[in-house]
Chain A
Amino acid sequence: METTALVSSGLDLQASFVDALQGLGLSPGAARLLWLPLPMVTVLVAAVVGVLVNVWLERKISAAVQQRIGPEYAGPLGVLQPMADGLKLVFKEDIIPARADGLLFTLGPVLVLVPVILSWLVVPFGQNLLISNVGVGIFLWISLSSIQPIGLLMSGYSSNNKYSLLGGLRAAAQSISYEIPLALAVLAIVMMSNSLSTVDIVNQQNGAGILSWNIWRQPVGFVIFWICALAECERLPFDLPEAEEELVAGYQTEYSGMKFALFYLGSYINLVLSALLVSVLYLGGWGFPVPVEWLAGWLGQSVDAPVVQVITATTGIVMTVLKAYLLVFFAILLRWTVPRVRIDQLLDLGWKFLLPIALVNLLVTAALKLAFPMAFGG
């Protein structure tokens, strides 16, 4: 089919790097070993920079919505403000409350942050621009994100504080109940693209540019996924695990310094990650609204020419990040638009609204796939 024809190798940095090192006389194994840490470090740095940008955006957009100015003095337009915040947290005293369980208290934030960072493994920025194209791709993300509630519950319980405990319980309940519609929404996508791999999911969407993006075929799934992603990230309409008016700060109440910074980092990395995955699953990932292959064809260039490959890869990264940050912007705007739901409303929405709708969506997708195999990836 068309999609298979599109899977050109594209820019393969790994192959080029290994080839170059082999040219210097290294064994293929050693060359690969030297390559391994590079994408990991790059993605880790990208994630942290993404968080800094995210924090800055959050503060600036929030300020604009409320007709304030926002951070202004730390660097031009206050861009260094997130750095200052982070630095402050690094230098703060690390406190473990006297009656808290020290081990669980320390392990909690780690268990929250590590799965989120691990999930970046499957986020593609281009045909070969991801750490690892694992076959179970998106499933890996779903399973990793269900480790998080354990960490939240752990930190809430070990703090020996009623607010922390309530926050932790709420976080666990919320994560678990929104995991299911989320997985069902993803399942519909997986069914259409016949693959769990994020790269295949994106490739399947980029046959005809913006028209072939999954959002047109899965509008309901998109909405469900976005709502669930917001709930998983504990973003504002669903931020009741840390609802500051009732629970001080939920499971984060007793945390300070670096341990708090881990939670903070985790929540923002999770937001960026969710936005990236929405863009991968529904908005064509690295795909330009007009397929780059067509553009190259119109300009009379070969897709395999080095310059075109570099340009393609760059547009791919820019497009992925742009789509993700548009969604982040939307999340921030939503934060100042909708009030926080109550815990019963939250669970109602999850179990009585999103879950049936996600199931119906899945069934309809299956039926459409049988009826129109051309349009729904038969």
Chain B
Amino acid sequence: MFGFLKKVGDYTKEAVSAAQYLGQGLAVTFDHLKRRPITVQYPYEKLIPSERYRGRIHYEFDKCIACEVCVRVCPINLPVVDWVMNKATKKKELRNYSIDFGVCIFCGNCVEYCPTNCLSMTEEYELAAFDRHSLNYDNVALGRLPTSVTSDPAVFALRELAYLPKGVMEPHGVPANAPRAGRLPEQVLATLAQPPAAPAATATEQTASSSTAPNPAVADQGAQS
């Protein structure tokens, strides 16, 4: 008898807690109704890709020394480096270079390891094509620079959330010169370079900060800006 009553009681408790969870969930969805849409009206508006965006790879033919490091560091040996050995000068002569962006995973290893910096990543991500073979870019196509979102007159460029001023959630109507929240990389470097010159800082802080900025080049850059 009591076992049955306990069962009924447990069941009721479960049902009540389920109803509570349901109410909680409804409160969340109802709250979301009040929020502004975060839609970016894509072909007319575009987000500005971040500085470290890994888009389509750019390639400078004249800088390339045909060392094939990009091929070796590529997870699938994708770049095709077409060179011949010039017997007379005993130097590699580059004829063609191509990367197939239908296969590339945009990991950026080739850019990272290129000894002459002839590879770089652009902010271009609109690579849709009618034929996948047209994604196989040769050195001419690789050498083209993409249209920047900010310079395209047909596009209304919007900043990403991390690039908005402090407290602003809505990229529409933010003036172009409004600074983003937080410090820019240059400012961070400037503060790193500052302490040795600053007299107010304590000795322990000085040693700590000078050890965090051991690179003289970085310190120089900070001093210039």
> Residues on A close to B: CB < 8 A?
61, 63-69, 333-334, 336-338, 353
Interface contact B39-A69, CB-CB below 8 Å: yes
From B15, B25, B37, contact of A63 by CB (8 A): B37
Interface contact A337-B28, CB-CB below 8 Å: yes
Would you give the shortest CB distance from B27 to chain A, in whole angstroms?
A: 9
- Cα-based distance from A67 to B169 in the complex (angstroms): 13
Interface contact B38-A333, CB-CB below 8 Å: no
Contact A333:B29 (CB < 8 A) given known A338-B22, A353-B15: yes
Would you give the shortest CB distance from B202 to chain A, in whole angstroms?
A: 48
Size class of the B contact interface (CB-based, 8 Å): 10 to 19
A-B contact pairs, 22 of them (CB 8 A): A63-B37, A64-B33, A64-B37, A65-B32, A65-B33, A67-B32, A67-B35, A67-B36, A67-B37, A67-B38, A68-B37, A68-B38, A68-B39, A69-B39, A333-B26, A333-B29, A333-B30, A334-B26, A337-B25, A337-B28, A338-B25, A353-B15
List residues 8-48 of chain B with CB under 8 A from any CB of chain A.
15, 22, 25-26, 28-30, 32-33, 35-39
A69 contact set on B, CB distance < 8 A:
37, 39
Main secondary structure of the interface of B (DSSP, over half): helix
- Cα-based distance from A67 to B37 in the complex (angstroms): 4
Contact A64:B32 (CB < 8 A) given known A69-B37, A69-B39: yes
- Cα-based distance from A334 to B30 in the complex (angstroms): 10
Q: Which A-chain residue is minimally distant from B24 (CB atoms)?
A: A337
A338 contact set on B, CB distance < 8 A:
22, 25
- Cα-based distance from A65 to B25 in the complex (angstroms): 12
From B15, B26, B37, contact of A337 by CB (8 A): B26
Given contacts A65-B32, A67-B36, A67-B37, 7 further A-B contacts (CB under 8 A): A64-B33, A65-B29, A67-B38, A67-B39, A68-B37, A337-B26, A337-B29
Q: Which B-chain residue is minimally distant from A353 (CB atoms)?
A: B15
Would you give the shortest CB distance from B138 to chain A, in whole angstroms?
A: 40
B29 contact set on A, CB distance < 8 A:
65, 333, 336-337
- Find the residue from A65, A337, A338 having the highest chain B CB count within 10 A: A337
- Cα-based distance from A246 to B33 in the complex (angstroms): 29
Q: Which A-chain residue is minimally distant from B15 (CB atoms)?
A: A353
- Cα-based distance from A67 to B34 in the complex (angstroms): 9
- Find the residue from A63, A65, A353 having the highest chain B CB count within 10 A: A65
- Cα-based distance from A280 to B32 in the complex (angstroms): 30
Would you give the shortest CB distance from A72 to chain B, in whole angstroms?
A: 9
Would you give the shortest CB distance from A4 to chain B, in whole angstroms?
A: 38
- Cα-based distance from A65 to B31 in the complex (angstroms): 8
B38 contact set on A, CB distance < 8 A:
67-68
A334 contact set on B, CB distance < 8 A:
26
- Cα-based distance from A353 to B33 in the complex (angstroms): 32
- Cα-based distance from A63 to B33 in the complex (angstroms): 9
A67 contact set on B, CB distance < 8 A:
32, 35-39
